[in-house]
Amino acid sequence: MSDRRSDRNGFEMRKDLFADERDDDLNEIGKRIRRQDIEGHVTGRSPFYDDHLFDGLLHIRCVRSPHHHARIRRIDTSEADRMEGVVRIVTGRDVPVNLNTLLSLLDFGLDDEPLLSEGKVAYRGEPVAAVIARTEAQARAATRTVRVDWEVLPHVLDVEEALKPGAPTVNETYPGNAFVYHGKYDHQKLRYGDVDRALAEADHVIEGRYQMSPIEQAPIETCGAIAAQEQNGRYVCYTGTQALFFSLGTASKLLELPSSRLHFIGGTVGGGFGGKVDSIHEPLAILGTMLTGQPCKSQWDREEEMQVGAPRGAERWYLTDGVMNDGRIVARKFTGYFDSGAYTRLTSYAVIKCAGHLPGPYTIPNVHADVYCVYTNRTPATAMRGFGITGVDFAIEAHMDKVAETVGLHPVELRILNAYRDGDMKAHRRLAKNCALVECCQVAAQKAGLRLSPDMLAASSKTGGGGPRAELPAHTATDQNGLVEGFSSGSYARKGGAPASPAIVATLPPGASAPASRPAAPAPEPKDPAPRPDAPRADTSPPARKPARSGAMRFSSLSGFRRR
Amino acid sequence: MTLHRGRGFAAINYPIGMNLGGDPSQALVHSNPDGKFTVALSAIDLGQGMKSVTRQIAAETLGVPIADVYVDTADSDTGPHDMGSFASRGTHRMGNAVIQASLEARAVMLEAAAEELEVDAGDLVTDGQGNIHVRGAPSRTITTMAAAQAAQFRQGRTIAGRGIFLVPLSEVDPETGEMSPVTTFAHAALVVEVEVDAETGEVEVLDIQSAYEVGRALNPGLVEQQLRGGAWMGMSHAAWETTEPYYPDRDHGPVDFDHYAMPGPGDLATHHISVLERPAEDGPYGGKGPGEMCANPVLPAVVNAIYDAVGVRIDDLPVTPEKVLRGIRANGGARPRQAL
């Protein structure tokens, strides 16, 4: 229907704006220079992980749960063992450390997910065994002959249902079906000012409920990895990861291999969009090589990429705004539910990122948010472009349209009126700087031929902020809602202070199970870069000491996320 | 008349270079005796242009031509540590690490040149064309190649540099959510025009007029590709895609691109992009990273435009013909507003 689209695409650099803040006289920066790798890409010669097809390469295919939630009574591989081309069948007992959470590399969260599940499954598609065979077709055929004796359990798929008393426990690490923040609450709180009082005094109270759908990252190249033996007991892994040392560290932990024995090669990837951080194929391919002595490949097909590979998770948002007749938003309240699926992966982190983003790009004197990372019996969610932000920005900006209609204000003018400006205090208690929302609103409106009042055209991100808008609220209402018992307050929030249950260490080929224990680095005292908030601090006891862990390569000795 | 046009507006900001984990990025830069530089990283080029933007940053900082720089990534045996390309941290974190590494290498290169020219290194400048000369005296000059050869064979200097970019991790207060999640934000605002068929419920996105503020467009070509592709992804999120069409029910999940519908070339809206640049003080040359934020404003702008067209609020994504038709029916017919 191109006839109805009058113009071609346009692109312009607005060099006139913020010109005094830039030096535009540079040699290479700011130039349209051709990509270093584009010739290889357009001629089909760039090497991707799947181009490293070693002689004798074996193929790994997983046996997956057909149920949302079920106990595994028994796995019978006797028929599959006899299938043509089958070299080895791997189960959870073969995984040296079969329990992990991705963000343990950042000291955040409890191990909650096996590489190959042993006791139970908590989502349809969860892997319980992996067949290694000479061809992919043979591996596929053999997976169909693995017999699993299932005991089907009740399941829960809705985030709000999952949080109700009596809901089936999806993830035993978090029996309440919610990630535990700071060893203390079943959600992340954002408290700034007194929302309830401001709502009571507002001219209008506007409510809304928004649902963000789960989305597939849809890279052209599906997730995967190829591993092979190198000299000196090392393993090389060609991978499509978008996080090289995340994947290396995760493999090191799950396989109990020191990182010196892992050689990861990647860097040229056929699209990721967030879905290639989860590091599932790298440990599986290396484990296959450890067990068979031959190169192994693990790779999702398109169906797995779409239904087993972690999507952008769904989010549900409830918003309540208190607005004055002139359009000033004086209070904004959020309740948000991130659907993490059966395991944590990265959703716990997205919740924090999201809380730090609220209430969006506006200066609102009273803000309140409860944001939950909820476990349900579905494919675990993970990162995707705009992670933690896209869903709530949809909610905020759809809501702003309703606010504009309610108070009878132009939608663009409502944004400019409430826009954050240089020097404003934000709800996460840091001063805004380097703002440009006002200018973006003005440019977009002007291009679209929308008429703005002279006041709005004269507005600037550089003026009108700071002063009283830089001050913290005189009073912030806090609460203890959602208090959780039984989790320690350390950054690495061990339930009850006890170490996570040790995984069964399987018998491995000689030399393959070198322990990689190293003590945790001591946590530095946190700095205090900002003025103290007015919030009360009920407990100043020191955080729990972190026990030494084995296998994991740590990237930071951080004590982040712990309470102060 | 069953076709109704409407316009919707949305504005957003986006946190760049998430810092809740405190994870730094590293870079190593060295020259061979010909004055050609290799930048060793462990960053990932997903198609976003990681290799290209770090190459430009290195060339700019070293003061050498882009052709004299090659970026080698990602081999864990040779590339220094980096957690990965996600959370809009690639350009921001890695770009800063490359600047630091390049500055260290540049300093050695200038010392080598200074020894050859018998001047003070502090008086030397690069012309970005492969020459080093005395400030204000362009005739007292040496090529970067000659300086590198002198360093290697006469002076015994290593023209190399190390870079790391670390922002101390952010604490998060359990009671108030106080934190320092990032150091800078990108911005965007746009107007989307849609056409809604009140008989079939189908929605077509016709046009996008956008303004994106990216700190500095380090490579406007890469920025344009990100913004164009990202806005496409935004309209696809709004009105096409989901892995679970009946969420929270898991049935009817698509398993291939026949059933996981996304807009094709014939569905693309024209997109008129304006790029604003307000440099971030801690961004590499002020750059913020446009990759993640570009889709976000399109989703709400599309539903706001549908309301403007037919008076139906869609608060559950994705927009489907079924939802539009049910909304129109509940209202007793389309209610065109065209208020924007």
ipTM above 0.90, yes or no: yes
**Nearest CB to B77; choose among A263, A440, A561:** A263
- A539 pLDDT band, cuts 50/70/90, is very low
**Nearest CB to A556; choose among B21, B213, B313:** B21
Nearest-CA residue of chain A relative to B230? A385
Chain length of chain A: 564
- B1 pLDDT band, cuts 50/70/90, is low
**Percent over 90 (pLDDT), chain A:** 84
- Cβ–Cβ contact A231 with B under 8 A: no
Vertex A200: Cα angle to A477 and A482 (nearest 5): 40
Q: Which long-range contacts (CB under 8 A, 24 or more apart) does B117-121 make?
A: B117/B141, B117/B142
Would you put residue A441 in left (φ > 0), alpha (ψ -120 to 50) or beta? alpha
Q: Report the amino acid identity of residue A67.
A: H
- Radius of gyration over alpha carbons of chain A, in Å? 26
Question: DSSP string of A157-218?
Answer: --HHHHTSTTPPPS-TTSTTSBPPBTTTBSSEEEEES-HHHHHHH-SEEEEEEEEEPPB---
* Predicted pLDDT at B88: 85
Work out the average pLDDT over B253-275.
Answer: 94
Q: Is the pLDDT of residue A556 over 60?
A: no
Interface test with B, best of A46, A68, A273, A394 (most B CBs within 10 A): A394
- Topology (CATH) of A188-215+311-470: Aldehyde Oxidoreductase; domain 4 (3.30.365)
Bridging pattern class, strands B203-213 and B270-276: parallel
* Tokens coding A317: 């948002």
- B86 pLDDT band, cuts 50/70/90, is confident
pLDDT in tens, A176-194: 999 999 999 999 999 999 9
Residue A371 near residue A380, CB atoms below 8 Å: no
Q: Is the peptide bond before B248 cis (omega within 30 degrees of 0)?
A: yes
The helix/strand/coil state of A369 is: strand
pLDDT in tens, A56-72: 999 999 999 999 999 99
Q: What are phi and psi of A428, to 5 degrees?
A: -90, 15
Per-residue burial over A110-130, b = 16 or more CB atoms within 10 Å of its CB, e = otherwise? bbbbbbbbbebbbbbbbbbbb
- Cβ–Cβ contact A384 with B under 8 A: no
Dist. CA B35–CA B64, nearest whole Å? 9
Q: Is the pLDDT of residue A331 over 60?
A: yes
Q: Is the pLDDT of residue A49 over 50?
A: yes
Residue A476 near residue A537, CB atoms below 8 Å: no
pLDDT in tens, B281-337: 999 999 998 999 999 999 999 999 999 999 999 999 999 999 999 999 999 999 999
Residues 411-450 of A with CB under 8 A from B: 411-412, 415, 419-420, 427-430, 433-437, 439-445, 447-448, 450
Nearest-CA residue of chain A relative to B218? A30
DSSP H helix total and E strand total for chain B? 6, 11
Residue B11 near residue A438, CB atoms below 8 Å: no
CA dihedral over A548, A549, A554, A557, signed as positive or negative? negative
* Contacts of B119 by beta carbon, 8 Å cutoff, 6+ apart: B134, B140
Domains of chain B, first to last: 3-15+183-330 (3.30.365.10), 18-165 (3.30.365.10)
DSSP A527: P
Nearest-CA residue of chain B relative to A219? B46
Q: Can you give the residue ranges of every domain in chain A?
A: 50-153+223-307, 188-215+311-470
Residues 127-166 of A with CB under 8 A from B: 157-159
pTM score, two decimals? 0.92
For the structural domain made of A50-153+223-307, what CATH number should be given? 3.90.1170.50
Q: Is the pLDDT of residue A326 over 90?
A: yes
- Whole-angstrom distance between the N-terminal and C-terminal Cα of chain B? 20
Q: Report the amino acid identity of residue A510.
A: P
DSSP A464: S
List, edge to edge, every strand of the sheet that includes A127-133: A86-91, A127-133, A58-64, A296-299, A224-229, A235-239, A262-265
* Predicted pLDDT at A187: 98
- Residue A533 or residue A301, greater confidence: A301
- Indicate yes or no: CB of B56 within 8 angstroms of CB of A210: no
**Nearest CB to A434; choose among B81, B230, B278:** B278
Nearest-CA residue of chain B relative to A385? B292
Q: Report the amino acid identity of residue A192.
A: Y
- Cβ–Cβ contact A313 with B under 8 A: no
Dist. CA A354–CA B120, nearest whole Å? 51
Bridging pattern class, strands A188-192 and A86-91: unpaired
- Indicate yes or no: CB of A390 within 8 angstroms of CB of B237: yes
Within 8 A of A363 by CB-CB distance, chain B residues are none
Dist. CA B165–CA A34, nearest whole Å? 26
pLDDT in tens, A381-423: 999 999 999 999 999 999 999 999 999 999 999 999 999 999 9
- Indicate yes or no: CB of A444 within 8 angstroms of CB of B340: no
Interface test with A, best of B14, B25, B44, B78 (most A CBs within 10 A): B44
Question: DSSP string of A301-365?
Answer: -HHHHHHTS--BPPEEEEEEEEE-TTS-EEEEEEEEEEEEETS-TTHHHHHHHHHHHTT-SB--S
**Nearest CB to A244; choose among B44, B262, B269:** B44
* Predicted pLDDT at B17: 82
Residue B62 near residue B99, CB atoms below 8 Å: no
Q: Is the pLDDT of residue A8 over 90?
A: no
* Tokens coding B17: 């270079």
Within a 10 A sphere around the Cβ of B236, how many other Cβ atoms? 21
Containing B238, the helix (H) or strand (E) segment is helix B220-239
Containing A79, the helix (H) or strand (E) segment is helix A78-81
Q: Report the amino acid identity of residue A374.
A: V
Question: DSSP string of B30-54?
Answer: EE-TTS-EEEE----BSSS-HHHHH
* Tokens coding A196: 């309830």
**Nearest CB to A386; choose among B84, B177, B292:** B292
**Percent over 70 (pLDDT), chain B:** 99
Q: How far is CA A83 from CA A78, A129, A134, A292, A447, in A?
A: 9, 15, 11, 17, 66
- Indicate yes or no: CB of B299 within 8 angstroms of CB of A390: yes
* Predicted pLDDT at B18: 78
**Nearest CB to B270; choose among A7, A215, A558:** A7
Alpha-carbon distance A79 to nearest alpha carbon in chain B (angstroms): 28
Average pLDDT, chain B: 95
Distance of CA A552 to the CA centre of its chain: 20
Query: Among candidates B197, B265, B318, B191, which has minimal Cα distance to A1?
Result: B265
Work out the average pLDDT over A544-548.
Answer: 36
Distance of CA A485 to the CA centre of its chain: 25
Dist. CA A170–CA A5, nearest whole Å? 49
Dist. CA A33–CA A49, nearest whole Å? 27
pLDDT in tens, B88-122: 888 999 999 999 999 999 999 999 999 999 999 99
pLDDT in tens, A434-456: 999 999 999 999 999 999 999 99
- A531 pLDDT band, cuts 50/70/90, is very low
